[in-house]
Amino acid sequence: MKQIPGKIMAIVGSLAASAAIAAFAYQNNSAEQTRIGIEQLHQLDVEATLSDKADELAKLWDSEAVRIEPGRAAEVGKPEIYANDKRWESKADRPKTLCYKSEIKDVQIVGDWAFEWGYFSYKDSSNPKPMRGKVLRVMKRQADGSWKFARVIGFNEDKQAAAPMSQPCE
């Protein structure tokens, strides 16, 4: 039986270590890219909400999205969500969004899906008092690598203590 020279063993060991480091770096980079993509969706959410434009809001949704709000039937599919937002946008007497902030408390990422919960605060032109609420969202990675909302449940809270935020709308 031939013995493998020490130099060859050192080279093989070095290559294996390099491969392990590269794999770890790739996973770290991938996780960082995922978090950046989700944060970009959060920023788009704020911008679209403040725009009060259905076309901007539509950019947030996965094609098979579902939006659930109290007192309404679930809105199933991006076309239905868009149609409802468009109807709201066309109302002459609709309130204008003056402030919108969210504080996400936890994000869990599992492959091409992410789950988060948090609080939101908003103020519109119909009420001088800012409102607060809670949100539970499921996000889905799209084919282009971006993230969109796949499921959203949001509701207002009458008591500020029920939706504590460090920097709510004022």
Question: 103 CB contacts (<8 Å, ≥6 apart)?
Answer: 118, 119, 120, 165, 166, 167
Is residue 89 a part of any domain in this protein?
A: yes
Which tokens is 134 given?
């809670």
List the CATH number of the domain containing 75: 3.10.450.50
Is residue 115 a part of any domain in this protein?
A: yes
**Global model pTM greater than 0.75:** yes
Is residue 157 a part of any domain in this protein?
A: yes
Q: What is the pLDDT of residues 26-59, one digit of tens each?
A: 455 688 999 999 999 999 999 999 999 999 999 9
CB 34 within 8 A of CB 140: no
Is residue 70 a part of any domain in this protein?
A: yes
In the structure, what pLDDT confidence band is assigned to residue 20 with cuts at 50, 70 and 90? low
Is residue 168 a part of any domain in this protein?
A: no
Is residue 170 a part of any domain in this protein?
A: no
Choice among 3-7, 143-147, 149-153 with the minimum mean pLDDT: 3-7
CB 161 within 8 A of CB 168: no
Cα distances (angstroms) measured from residue 148 to each of 16, 26, 70, 105, 120: 38, 23, 22, 18, 18
Is residue 78 a part of any domain in this protein?
A: yes
DSSP H or E stretch at residue 39? helix 6-51
Number of structural domains found in the chain: 1
Whether the per-residue pLDDT at 119 is higher than 90: the answer is yes
pLDDT for residue 25 = 46
Is residue 167 a part of any domain in this protein?
A: no
CA separation for the pair 65, 87 (Å, rounded) = 18
* Residues of the domain holding 133: 6-162
